Chains A and B, each alone.
Chain A
Amino acid sequence: MFTSREIISTLEMLKSENLDVRTVTLGINLLDCAGKDLQRVKSRITESIMDLAGDFVEVCDRIAQKYGIPIVNKRIAVSPIAVVGASFSPPQLVEVAQSLDAAAQKVHVDFIGGFSALVEKGMARGDRSLITAIPEALSSTERVCASVNVASTRAGINMDAVLLMGKTVKRAAHLTANRDGIACTKLCVFANIPEDIPFMAGAYMGIGEADAVINVGVSGPGVVKKAVERAFATNPSMDLGSVSELIKKTAYKVTRVGELIGREVAEQLKINFGVVDLSLAPTPHVGDSVGEIFQTLGLLAIGVPGTTAALALLNDAVKKGGAFASSRVGGLSGAFIPVSEDLNISEAVRDGHLCLEKLEAITSVCSVGLDMVALPGNISEETISAIIADEMAIGVINNKTTAARLIPVPGKKSGDSAYFGGLMGHSTIIAVKNADGDNPFLRRGGQIPAPIHSLRN
């Protein structure tokens, strides 16, 4: 028997605080579809997706109704296409992306991730073809997401790949210039990419995974914010140790819900359950924002002095709560700070509280990186590469995942607005300082070696 307080607090979390399952992501291993005959590979990919994901969305909807909790997105992640389609040319890989898109549409999923390459230590022919194909692939499809892992703590940073990604991002933006460069919202450049992220655009099916897997992404920034607000109302002098404890307990609850849903989807589809990724993933709606948590904690806005410490507290408490709630916690698990996807964060950019330099600084303690950052359209490829390289260095040296999802918005300058729509949101374009002139450092290419694992100061 539950107390009325338990029942009511559950309903509050679901109805007023935007607790939801942000995504259930079905990982599908496509490695057995590899081959040299393009038509055959495409049809085998489509068959695999249709076989495994035919009932996927319906099962998710049924379980969402059973528990009264929204499952906002249903997505698919596939094996890295750079491996599956290693023998193909860039135009052929664009065709593969279009097949993925069509299959995703048939099974009614929102996104399909895995148009990906892992090149942290070097680029194979298939990797190079895939990266070349990314701009056309993303601009000629709606649902396909791409990711490229260019760095890792074990391998260092592949600066040739970083340079190539600057070009790729710029071209993807150019090909979707009429939509503010929206193709770039579906492209992530990573250091230390996890194999089991359920969130887009970084989801792909890891090489070390089974035939299929269900990973779940749970969100809940609104739940955390309300919990802190209520606690401060009861105890205005609450210290930060107690705040951390409170966030940890809240994260614990949210993770448990994710595991419940993930296990049931997996059971009904007769697929292994993978992980719960407990990430505070915001949407462009009031009350569903990571940025608002900073204000609740007492900061004027995200970006002002104190932000890095507050985010460190938040990210760590979320991870601890998740780790206690489930032994299947994975993915990114922490706090996201995607600029355009979080109304409050994009307002902090507009109001001048958050600049690119501070944003980069706080990515050293968040769970992802420079995410959904709209940049001036005239930024050079080299400067994009340089920003990516800086972000990768933070991940590599600190032994964590970092990513860059940068959108140079064609024809717009800093201070203008960029609009991406839906959960991608909208944002004020952030200024990039000191980016004029030549940057020969980037053009040298090569590999920045893996960092030393002792003398860690």
Chain B
Amino acid sequence: MNKAIISILGRDRPGIVAAVARTLTEHMCNIENVTQTMLQNEFAGIFIVTMPEGMSAADLHGRMVSSLSALELHVYSKPCEGGDEDCATEKLEPFVITTKGPDRKGLVAGISEEIARHGVNITNLQAVFKGGNDPGENIMIYEVDLPATFDVRTFTRDLRAKAEALSLEISIQHRNIFEALHRV
């Protein structure tokens, strides 16, 4: 399949998704996956699309930029290699890592570095830093996948040590407890 991945950034306002989708349709592209989020007032969207035969990611990028620049949207594109079939087949256990603690520089870097050092993949990250010393106002939530055979104790121990060094309170819990509490 001839696929591209396109990322759109810009000040949030009504009509961004509609404008992107319209442009893709006009160029005969089919949207396979899309996700969007907002951070403060900024929009970020990621689209994986199938392009017609003969079209390259660079071609599509040019057409998107010309259509969307009037809306002051920034476009980033690249060819998309592989797809769902590339998903890991190893059994993974989803965990949620939560930290609370006073805001300071380097918190995301410190924790994510420790996660990466153990070869663990972050599947979702939400972080809110409102500043100040109120732990409840400064929170990071990492969703990670741990291989079923992984040494969770060592990972947990190292992560706790890192959190302590950063003056963070940390919880590392299997995702199922959140499912049990909040999802029917």
CB proximity to B under 8 Å, residues A33-74? 65-69
A7 touches B180 (CB 8 A): no
B180's contact among A8, A11, A14, A257, by CB below 8 Å, is which?
A: A257
Highest count of chain A CB atoms <10 Å: which of B100, B136, B173, B180: B180
B177 touches A260 (CB 8 A): yes
A151, chain B: closest CB distance, angstroms: 37
B180 touches A260 (CB 8 A): yes
- Closest chain B residue to A8, Cβ basis: B139
A7 touches B152 (CB 8 A): no
What residues of B have a CB within 8 angstroms of the CB of A67 in the complex?
Answer: 173-174, 176-177
CB proximity to A under 8 Å, residues B120-158? 124, 126, 128, 136, 139, 141, 143, 152-153, 156
What residues of A have a CB within 8 angstroms of the CB of B141 in the complex?
Answer: 2, 4, 7
CB proximity to B under 8 Å, residues A1-30? 1-2, 4, 6-11, 13-14
A382 within 8 A of B: no
In the complex, what distance in Å separates the CA atom of A253 from the CA atom of B175?
15
Given contacts A2-B96, A8-B139, contact A256 B178 (CB under 8 A): no
What residues of B have a CB within 8 angstroms of the CB of A260 in the complex?
Answer: 176-177, 180
A99, chain B: closest CB distance, angstroms: 35
A259 within 8 A of B: yes
CB proximity to A under 8 Å, residues B45-98? 96, 98
B180 touches A2 (CB 8 A): no
Mostly, the A contact residues are helix
A7's contact among B153, B172, B178, by CB below 8 Å, is which?
A: B178
What residues of B have a CB within 8 angstroms of the CB of A68 in the complex?
Answer: 171-174, 177
B178's contact among A10, A65, A66, A259, by CB below 8 Å, is which?
A: A10
B181 within 8 A of A: yes
Highest count of chain B CB atoms <10 Å: which of A2, A14, A65, A259: A2
Highest count of chain A CB atoms <10 Å: which of B98, B100, B173, B175: B173
In the complex, what distance in Å separates the CA atom of A414 from the CA atom of B156?
51
What residues of B have a CB within 8 angstroms of the CB of A10 in the complex?
Answer: 173, 177-178, 181-182
What residues of A have a CB within 8 angstroms of the CB of B153 in the complex?
Answer: 65
B171 touches A11 (CB 8 A): yes
- Closest chain A residue to B141, Cβ basis: A7
B101, chain A: closest CB distance, angstroms: 13
A4's contact among B126, B173, B180, by CB below 8 Å, is which?
A: B126
- Closest chain A residue to B100, Cβ basis: A11
Given contacts A13-B181, A67-B177, A260-B177, contact A7 B96 (CB under 8 A): yes
15 sample A-B contacts, Cβ–Cβ < 8 Å, listed by A number: A1-B143, A2-B178, A2-B182, A4-B126, A4-B141, A10-B173, A10-B177, A10-B178, A10-B181, A11-B171, A66-B152, A67-B176, A68-B174, A69-B177, A260-B180
Q: Other than the known A10-B178, A13-B181, A66-B173, what 18 A-B pairs have Cβ atoms closer than 8 Å?
A: A2-B96, A2-B141, A2-B178, A2-B182, A7-B178, A9-B182, A10-B177, A10-B181, A14-B171, A65-B156, A67-B177, A68-B173, A68-B174, A69-B177, A253-B181, A257-B177, A260-B176, A260-B177
A-B pairs with lowest CB-CB distance, top 3: A68-B173, A256-B180, A67-B177
